[in-house]
Structure 1
Amino acid sequence: MLSRAFRLGMLILTTASCQNPPSSNISGMWFGSYVNETYRLPYPVLLDIRDDGTLTKVVVGDSLITQQLDWKLQAGDTSILQLDTTSYAVLSLSADQLKLHDTNDRIFHRLDSAVTNVSAVQKHLLANIWLREKTTPDDPFLTKSYYRYTADSIYLLRELWYDQMLVGREYEQYSYQFASYRNHLFQVVCLDTPCDFYTMQTSQIIESTDRYLVTQDKREPISPISIYLAVDTTLRFQTESEALRFDACYQEAFTPQYFSVDTDYTGGQRAINQFVNDRYIAPNEAQGQSGYIRIRFTVNCQGKSGRFHVQTSDLAYQPSTFHPDIVRQLLTIVQQLDQWIPGQYDNSDQTADSYKFIGFRMIDGQITQIIP
Structure 2
Amino acid sequence: MKNGFLFILLVPLLINCQTEKSAASNYQSHVEDIVFDEKKDDPNFKRCDGNDLGIQYYSGPSSASIQYRGEKIAIIKNLEKLKIGSSNSENGYITVRFLVNCEGRSGYFRVQEMDEKYKVIKYDKTFSDQLLSFTKNLGGWIPMKINGKNRDYYQYLTYKIENGKVSEILP
Give the structure-2-normalised TM-score: 0.71
Question: Which residue is 1:291 aligned to?
Answer: 92
2:113 aligned partner, one-letter code: T
1:327 aligned partner, one-letter code: S
- Separation in 1 of the partners of 2:106 and 2:158? 16
- Separation in 2 of the partners of 1:252 and 1:311? 25
Question: Which residue is 1:338 aligned to?
Answer: 139
* Greater RCO, CA 8 A, separation 6+: 2
Q: Which has the higher strand share?
A: 1
- Separation in 2 of the partners of 1:325 and 1:315? 20
CA RMSD of aligned residues (A): 2.4
Paired residues, what number?
135
Residue 307 of structure 1, CA deviation: 0.1
1:286 aligned partner, one-letter code: N
Equivalences for residues 75-114 of structure 1 within 5 A: none
Change (3 A) 1:247 1:280: farther
1:343 aligned partner, one-letter code: M
- Separation in 1 of the partners of 2:82 and 2:129? 12
Contact 1:261/1:354 (CA < 8 Å) preserved in 2? no
Residue 250 of structure 1, CA deviation: 1.5
Residue 281 of structure 1, CA deviation: 2.3
- Separation in 2 of the partners of 1:271 and 1:307? 22
Residue by residue over 1:294-345, the C-alpha shift from the partner in whole angstroms, topping out at 9 and shown as x without a partner, is 0000000000000000001110111111111111000000001001101111
State the SS of the aligned residue for 2:149.
coil
- Separation in 2 of the partners of 1:268 and 1:253? 27
- Separation in 2 of the partners of 1:268 and 1:315? 26
Residue 252 of structure 1, CA deviation: 4.9
Select the residue among 96, 105, 109 that pairs with 1:308.
Answer: 109
Contact 2:42/2:108 (CA < 8 Å) preserved in 1? no
Contact 1:280/1:330 (CA < 8 Å) preserved in 2? no
1:258 aligns with 2:60: no
- Separation in 1 of the partners of 2:49 and 2:37? 19
- Separation in 2 of the partners of 1:145 and 1:358? 20
Residue 273 of structure 1, CA deviation: 0.9
1:306 aligned partner, one-letter code: G
- Separation in 2 of the partners of 1:295 and 1:310? 5
* Structure 2: gaps (5+ residues): 1-17, 19-35
Change (3 A) 1:326 1:252: farther
Structure label with greater radius of gyration: 1
Question: Which residue is 1:171 aligned to?
Answer: 42
- Separation in 1 of the partners of 2:96 and 2:122? 14
Question: Which residue is 1:371 aligned to?
Answer: 170
* TM superposition outliers: structure 1 runs of 4+ over 2 Å: 251-254
Select the residue among 55, 61, 81 that pairs with 1:278.
Answer: 81
Change (3 A) 1:261 1:368: same
- Separation in 2 of the partners of 1:320 and 1:265? 29
Residue by residue over 1:236-281, the C-alpha shift from the partner in whole angstroms, topping out at 9 and shown as x without a partner, is xxxxxxxxx3111123544112351426100001001111121242
Contact 2:97/2:155 (CA < 8 Å) preserved in 1? yes
State the SS of the aligned residue for 1:298.
strand
- Range moving further from structure 2, 249-258 or 315-324: 249-258
Residue 364 of structure 1, CA deviation: 1.8
Contact 1:301/1:351 (CA < 8 Å) preserved in 2? yes
Identity %: 28
Contact 1:298/1:356 (CA < 8 Å) preserved in 2? yes
